[in-house]
Amino acid sequence: MFTKDEIEVKLNFLESVFEKYGAVPLDINEKNIEKFHQRKIYQYKNNYYRVDSADFEENGEIFLVLSSTDEKKYADIGLLEDIDAFSAGLSDEQLEKQVRYVLGIEPYPDDYAQK
């Protein structure tokens, strides 16, 4: 179980990894960021990305979620699709690897879907 502050640290870390690999934070979707507590959107190449968390109350497990779209019109209003979710319990090294997969810097392993 993680506190909200601990999840915030992990989300900030993921955003810092986006920036480490050249993703640029954008000043878009400001209304929805405030209204729906969405996080900042980043652009990497021709895609837009955002991090978030999901709390599954059944077992208390928290997942970190990476969302994306390749359409600027959707990014402008914060409408991104969830493309990957993983346990908040992953190490920083494992979290960085997830970002590398999502950004296409490193290919997903063949057995990724089975993990």
pLDDT in tens, 69-91: 999 999 988 889 988 999 999 99
Whether 115 has a pLDDT exceeding 70, the answer reads no
DSSP string, 40-60: PPEEETTEEEEEEEEEETTTT
In this structure, is residue 114 part of a structural domain? no
Q: Name the nearest CA neighbour of 66 among 81, 78, 79, 47.
A: 81
In this structure, is residue 112 part of a structural domain? no
Total count of domains within the chain: 1
In this structure, is residue 115 part of a structural domain? no
99-104: average pLDDT? 94
Q: Name the nearest CA neighbour of 83 among 34, 26, 44.
A: 44
In this structure, is residue 76 part of a structural domain? yes
12: containing domain: 4-106
In this structure, is residue 111 part of a structural domain? no
The reported pTM is 0.89
State the Cα–Cα distance between residues 38 and 17, nearest whole angstrom.
Answer: 18
53-78: average pLDDT? 87
Q: Residue 25 phi/psi, 5° resolution? A: -70, 140
In this structure, is residue 62 part of a structural domain? yes
How much is the pLDDT for 55? 83
